[in-house]
Amino acid sequence: MERDLRKLNAKGLSRKEILRKLKELLDKERLNHSLGVAELAVKLAERYGYDPAKAELAGLVHDCAKCMSPAMLMKKIRDYGIELDEVEREYPPLWHAPVSAHLARREFGVEDEEILRAIRLHTTGDAEMTLLDKIIYVADYADPTRDYPESEEIREMALKDLDLAWLHTAKRKLIYVIKKEKVLIHPRTVATHNSAVKAVMGNQTMKGGKRSG
């Protein structure tokens, strides 16, 4: 079933029109990834009681600035007045998430703050994460077009226990940056991991498990 995304953006863009705009911004691989994230985000939204249309839109546009060069991203950061913290300034792979959130608003007319926030936080996560933040964070890592060996495992886990998949994603991301040479680790990457540990431990002590929210 095709979900109606027109009401979720101020430009009234249909899914088809959103895809057309994405094709102008992204290469084929990144477009396929975005479609994969959207598809998995819809499944997770349906499973955990979130609006699937909002999850789909967030998944589709979460990486809309990903194919820009660091120079272009920095130009957008200056033009839009996006504030980067000290660690973000040092590490260009973190630039596309805040720029994607701004482009989502400007180019795709997305005004929903939950969607914009999930896009902005999709790389690092944050100490406090909403259900949609978690859905996009996990779906981004575990989308079926990713060829990480653990992506399938996390995908299956996410449908059973979102917090556990959130923790595994956070842990993998932390290991990934630790393995890099001379790269600062963003405090939000650590905070996300610790929040996920607390959520999973909390779920384990509460019999039957707590619904993620």
Question: Using a CB cutoff of 8 Å and minimum separation of 24, what contacts does 118-124 make?
Answer: 118/58, 118/62, 119/58, 119/61, 119/62, 121/97, 121/188, 122/62, 122/63, 122/97, 123/93, 123/94, 123/96, 123/97, 124/94, 124/97, 124/186, 124/188, 124/189, 124/192
- Quick one: 138 or 199, whose CB is closer to Fe ion? 138
163 scored as a contact of Fe ion (CB under 5 A): no
Contact mark string toward Fe ion, 133..162, x via CB under 5 A: -------x----------------------
Instruction: Report the distance separating Cα 178 and Cα 172, nearest Å.
Output: 10
- Quick one: 1 or 19, whose CB is closer to Fe ion? 19
Tell which positions 26-65 bind Fe ion, by CB under 5 A.
63
Least Cβ distance, residue 120 to Fe ion (angstroms):
11
- Stretch of residues binding Fe ion (CB under 5 A), selected from 2-10, 43-51, 132-140, 169-177: 132-140
Q: Which residues bind Fe ion (CB under 5 A)?
A: 63, 140
